[in-house]
A and B are shown apart, each in its own frame.
Chain A
Amino acid sequence: MHHVTLDQWSRRQSPLHRLDPRSKIVALLVLLVVVGTANRQVAWLCGGLWVLLGATALIAHLPLRAMLIRACVVLPFTGVFAAVSWLAGDPGRGAALVMKSYVSAFAVLILVSTTALPALLRGFERLGAPRFLLMVAQFLYRYLFVISEEAQHMRKAAQARGASAGGLAGGLAGNAERFSAAAGALAVLFARSYHRAEQIHRAMLSRSFPGYFRPLMELHYHPADLLFVMLGVLLPVLLRVWIERLS
């Protein structure tokens, strides 16, 4: 049984974990807009926000170092573009790209590691996102690991039948054979996923599925949420206004 690190983090206890997901989503969107629209003094702004986010992560009892490393996921992508910008004679823009994308990813990471995914999606639903789409997303996440494990088993089985590490059916077979073998494997995975969905649906019907997920917990808006939203909106905005005033 696999558990993603994020799932473990999002089940911890802290003042931030207890907040209503809606208030965290609103604060995140404000912060992202503040970062996304910035084009002057980006280094100072990102530095200030980074300190702010780091403090938030500490309040939420999250492992700061592991989170900083995890947010580096964006760097390989943005790094390539920063290098291209550098080559095109605009190193400032390249550096701004890296900083903005890193701070944004760190902020999103704090949201998802303080909110369990069902609660998060329910927050989005209450903020007006289409329910059907969110239900599909939730099913997707639930079966992501099941289907991926199935794909891994199939890959292992293919290797046991003599496929080399390079492809699905390797050895003496040419590229064309290996290609069609991989296509066949994907088709089998497709068929198995399809039938699994049918079985899931029958199981859901037998438990009288009403057509939507019954929420196990209701969202409650507390005074702490109001305080958090006010801080989450005011601090980044004022920080940016202050930095742009100074320059």
Chain B
Amino acid sequence: MVALAKIGLNGWWRGAEAGWHEYLVRATLKAIVHIPDGFLSTPVWAVMDLTAAPAVGYAVRAAQRGFDDAKVPLLGVMGAFVFAAQMINFPVGIGTSGHLVGGALLAFTLGPAAAAVVMSAILAIQALVFQDGGILALGTNIFNMAIAGVLAGYLPYRLFGGGGGRRAAIFAGGALSVLTSALLALAELRFSGVRMPTAVLGVSLALFLVSALIEGAITLGVIRALEAIQPDFVRQPAAGGRHAVIAAGVAAVLLASGGVVIASTAPDGIERLAKQTGIESRAHSLITAPLKDYQAGFLGAGWLAQACAGLIGLGLVGGVCWIAVRKR
């Protein structure tokens, strides 16, 4: 039972053995990487859900290309491996320890599309079974970790993994994947109006950098050990990638770094930005106009109209994805 609790809580509570500061660090990182429901403002989670749905649909199709059904058990078991890998601690000096996140490692071994599918499945199981990350925030978490994180991790490997800088590329891939996910999450939280004093922000950025370096080191160590066991576990970078992958990876990195910069210039979140530019009033009238007559006498709640519009939008995108992904 203890083992199960450890899987469920992903080991962050083991910080209790090491002291309160480690607990605090782990709790902060965990909340940033697996954003719970109730943290993000409506525009943020709605937009991220709408972005993640087609992206996952595309990843599923790409992973299924040349489909052999051996892939279903393989991807599932490798997802279980990433879960279990979090139980193995890596010492990083000064009494603390880190563990594998896994996005980059999966991208180097299974390819970026399959890695995105596995990471999405992990996030879905974590949100559903272990209440680790929200359901409305699932799209956000999937975009941060399974889409942008995996692409950013694969980028250096795809570009420089073939030549002499192979080890550096693997290390950079692991580091970049964690850094991109964390920065994106930070930007989304800031856009949602979660306030952070500058000191806290600085500490979080330092923490991200440290955990990114740890992930890079772990990824490199595991890849080298894997190549010693059986070299064909690790994919050659030229085999499974096209220019679109490079472009998407660059876009993910740019988005993450740009998002943080923009978010820090708009300290009170997207609401204030919207008010300043006058988008809010225009958007509000645009959304509520068709329902205006009902609202005056009936419910008197603009949020209902917004929520309905959001749900209809979600339904539409879901339908499009369903049609796109359906086996033809």
Contact digits for A78-105, partner B, Cβ 8 Å, 1 yes 0 no:
1111001101111001001101110111
Contacts of B124 in A (CB 8 A): 133, 137
Q: A36-B136, A132-B64, A167-B89 are in contact. Are A197 and B217 (CB under 8 A)?
A: no
Contacts of A148 in B (CB 8 A): 3-4, 7, 80, 83-84, 87
In Å, the complex CA distance between A77 and B15 comes to: 13
Contacts of B122 in A (CB 8 A): 140
In Å, the complex CA distance between A179 and B215 comes to: 12
Contacts of B200 in A (CB 8 A): 84, 87
Are B129 and A117 in contact (CB-based, < 8 A)? yes
B120 at the interface (CB under 8 A from A): yes
Q: A101-B36, A133-B60, A147-B84 are in contact. Are A200 and B77 (CB under 8 A)?
A: yes
Contacts of B79 in A (CB 8 A): 136-137, 139-140
A178 at the interface (CB under 8 A from B): yes
Are B120 and A189 in contact (CB-based, < 8 A)? no
Q: A90-B195, A194-B78 are in contact. Are A97 and B38 (CB under 8 A)?
A: yes
Are A186 and B88 in contact (CB-based, < 8 A)? yes
Contact digits for B56-78, partner A, Cβ 8 Å, 1 yes 0 no:
11001001100001101111111
B287 at the interface (CB under 8 A from A): no
Contacts of A101 in B (CB 8 A): 36-39, 134
A76 at the interface (CB under 8 A from B): yes
Are A136 and B70 in contact (CB-based, < 8 A)? no
Specify which of A70, A81, A180 is in contact with B31 (CB 8 Å cutoff): A81
Are A191 and B91 in contact (CB-based, < 8 A)? no
Contacts of B311 in A (CB 8 A): 29, 33
In Å, the complex CA distance between A145 and B218 comes to: 23
Contact digits for B201-231, partner A, Cβ 8 Å, 1 yes 0 no:
0000000000000000110011011101110
Q: A167-B89, A180-B221, A197-B73 are in contact. Are A140 and B83 (CB under 8 A)?
A: yes
Specify which of B38, B89, B91, B125 is in contact with A100 (CB 8 Å cutoff): B38
Are A80 and B77 in contact (CB-based, < 8 A)? no
Are B230 and A191 in contact (CB-based, < 8 A)? yes
Contacts of A245 in B (CB 8 A): 300
Contact digits for B298-319, partner A, Cβ 8 Å, 1 yes 0 no:
0111011011001100000011
A182 at the interface (CB under 8 A from B): yes
**Total A-B pairs, Cβ < 8 A:** 305
A148 shortest CB reach to chain B, Å:
4
Are A84 and B81 in contact (CB-based, < 8 A)? no
In residues 1-27 of chain A, which contact B (Cβ within 8 Å)?
Answer: 2, 4, 6
Contacts of B80 in A (CB 8 A): 139-140, 143-144, 146-148, 193
Are A78 and B135 in contact (CB-based, < 8 A)? no
Are B125 and A183 in contact (CB-based, < 8 A)? no
Contacts of A93 in B (CB 8 A): 193-195
Contacts of B57 in A (CB 8 A): 130
In Å, the complex CA distance between A166 and B95 comes to: 9
Contacts of A96 in B (CB 8 A): 38
Contacts of B75 in A (CB 8 A): 136, 139
B92 at the interface (CB under 8 A from A): yes
Contacts of B88 in A (CB 8 A): 151, 154-155, 168, 182, 185-186, 189
Contact digits for A43-78, partner B, Cβ 8 Å, 1 yes 0 no:
000000000000000000000000000110110111
In Å, the complex CA distance between A193 and B229 comes to: 13
Q: A187-B229, A193-B78, A241-B299 are in contact. Are A132 and B304 (CB under 8 A)?
A: no
Contacts of A131 in B (CB 8 A): 325
Q: 28 A-B pairs, CB-CB below 8 angstroms?
A: A36-B45, A37-B306, A84-B194, A97-B194, A100-B37, A100-B39, A104-B134, A105-B134, A111-B128, A117-B128, A127-B318, A128-B321, A130-B56, A130-B60, A132-B63, A133-B56, A133-B120, A139-B76, A140-B122, A143-B80, A148-B3, A186-B221, A190-B85, A190-B222, A191-B229, A193-B80, A201-B70, A240-B301
